[in-house]
Amino acid sequence: MELNTRDEKSLLLYFETQAVDYGGTLEGVRMNADDFAIAKRWNDAGFVRFGRIAFHDIKKHSGVARDHWCVLSDEAWKLAHAERRARCERVMATLKVERKGFEPEVQGA
């Protein structure tokens, strides 16, 4: 599978974050029609399994309904990791801050 658009990359990172933080439960209100179309295509291809949660199983926490679910394939996990790292490198390259760190201890000093 190849991630060709920014929307695909963004959706995969949303799925990856929700998989890690919430067991793959998703907030459908955070997805638009294009996201649902991508998710359906990925589900059909076996890249990411995706579907709705039965109404009686939807739990609302702080008014948030997690009404969909996803399960990433091994390939999706690998691409998500690569994209997260690439995004980090792009953001870090644009930071305009002075980075101060701890100097390594010198042995024998």
Which domains, from first to last, does the chain contain? 6-93 (1.10.10.10)
pLDDT digits (tens), the chain, 109 positions? 889 999 999 999 999 999 999 999 999 999 999 999 999 999 999 999 999 999 888 877 667 789 999 999 999 999 999 999 999 999 999 999 888 888 777 776 5
CA angle 64, 69, 74 (to 5 degrees): 135
Q: CA torsion 71→72→74→79, rounded to 10°?
A: -170
The Cα–Cα gap between 25 and 65 comes to 9
Provide Rg for the chain, Cα atoms: 19
pLDDT of residue 109: 59
pTM: 0.83
The answer to whether 84 touches 101, Cβ cutoff 8 Å, is no
pLDDT of residue 90: 93
What's at 2, amino acid-wise? E
